């Protein structure tokens, strides 16, 4: 079992990544796309958003063009193709124009017909890196619509001890060059496969693996979770719960890939 959570001090956990890791597709691809479509239809204001700025429009359109015209057909040629001004999803049969829509929200919705990954776009200004656009139908422990327009440090305000790594995170983003990719991994255990959730309760647990010092399990089965998974000092939690990872319904790895 791949379980990359080890003990130690609180760090950002950023690693280098290759371009082939930017978008990863697995056997749950179709299920995730169907889930995404339902969430966007039922809760569009929670699942995607864009700041009204020309620079943001340019960034969203650039992302759309890169993924549809270059990255996806090259990385997954048996699943996607681009020809005669159109992007073809050979799995679902969807056909999208290669020219990005003028509406940035429509750009994000159409990208949601091709990839299951959640997307958060940051742009740097005088204060730091700010979230300017997002497409998120599988958040874990936060409401993505509350992050739009916020700086990186404010986005992570609810995260315990984030202030210890805030400056290093800003530096990591500032140093990131075009064509380079980095990644980090969050782990969330879910008792079932359902992927829509508004309420959750985080448990502080004692893991079966003695090399893992701390992690958490969500007590409800939904993955669209816009409540909080974070445990803070003074909060009531179920402590030292015996949990066997082999008996948990599913494990979700949330991989943040930046490039």
The DSSP code sequence of 175-208 is HPPTT-EEEEEEEEEESSS---BS---EEEEEES
pLDDT class of 8 with cuts at 50, 70, 90? low
Per-residue pLDDT, averaged over 62-89, amounts to 97
* 102-to-99, 108, 243 alpha-carbon distances in Å: 9, 11, 49
Q: Phi, psi (5° rounding) for residue 72?
A: -65, -45
Pairing of strands 119-124, 216-218: unpaired
Q: What is the CA angle 216-226-259, rounded to 5?
A: 80
* 52-to-149, 181, 250 alpha-carbon distances in Å: 10, 27, 38
What local confidence, expressed as pLDDT, does residue 168 receive? Answer: 86
Tokens representing 62 are 């650039």
Taking 60 as the threshold, does the pLDDT of residue 163 lie above it? yes
What local confidence, expressed as pLDDT, does residue 164 receive? Answer: 85
3-class DSSP assignment, residue 23: coil
What local confidence, expressed as pLDDT, does residue 223 receive? Answer: 52
What local confidence, expressed as pLDDT, does residue 211 receive? Answer: 31
Share of the chain above pLDDT 70, in %: 66
What local confidence, expressed as pLDDT, does residue 180 receive? Answer: 85
Taking 80 as the threshold, does the pLDDT of residue 2 lie above it? no
Per-residue pLDDT, averaged over 213-222, amounts to 44
Taking 90 as the threshold, does the pLDDT of residue 236 lie above it? no
CA-only gyration radius of the chain, Å? 19
Which of residues 237 and 23 earns the better pLDDT score? 23
Q: What is the pLDDT of residues 172-211, one digit of tens each?
A: 888 888 888 888 776 665 554 555 554 444 444 333 333 3
């Amino acid at each position: 079992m791949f379980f990359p959570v080890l003990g130690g001090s609180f760090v950002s956990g950023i690693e280098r990544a290759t371009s082939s890791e930017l978008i990863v597709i697995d056997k749950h691809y179709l299920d995730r796309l169907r889930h995404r479509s339902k969430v966007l239809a039922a809760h569009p204001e929670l699942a995607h958003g864009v700041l009204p700025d020309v620079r943001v429009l340019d960034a969203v359109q650039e992302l759309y063009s890169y993924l549809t015209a270059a990255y996806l057909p090259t990385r997954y040629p048996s699943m996607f193709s681009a020809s005669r001004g159109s992007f073809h999803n050979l799995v679902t049969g969807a056909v999208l124009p290669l020219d990005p829509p003028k509406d940035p929200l429509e750009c994000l919705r159409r990208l949601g017909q091709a990839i299951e990954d959640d997307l958060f776009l940051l742009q740097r200004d005088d204060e730091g890196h700010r979230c300017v656009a997002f497409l998120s139908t599988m958040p874990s422990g936060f409401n993505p619509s509350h992050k739009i327009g916020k700086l990186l440090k404010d986005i992570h305000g609810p995260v315990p001890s984030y202030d210890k790594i805030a400056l290093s995170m800003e530096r990591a983003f500032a140093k990131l060059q075009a064509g380079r990719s980095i990644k980090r991994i969050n782990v969330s255990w879910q008792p079932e496969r359902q992927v829509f959730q508004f309420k959750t309760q985080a448990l502080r647990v004692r893991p079966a693996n003695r090399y893992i010092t701390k992690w958490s399990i969500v007590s409800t089965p939904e993955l669209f979770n816009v409540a909080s998974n974070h445990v803070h000092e003074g909060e009531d939690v179920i402590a030292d719960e015996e949990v066997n990872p082999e008996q948990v319904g599913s494990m979700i790895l949330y991989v943040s890939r930046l490039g």
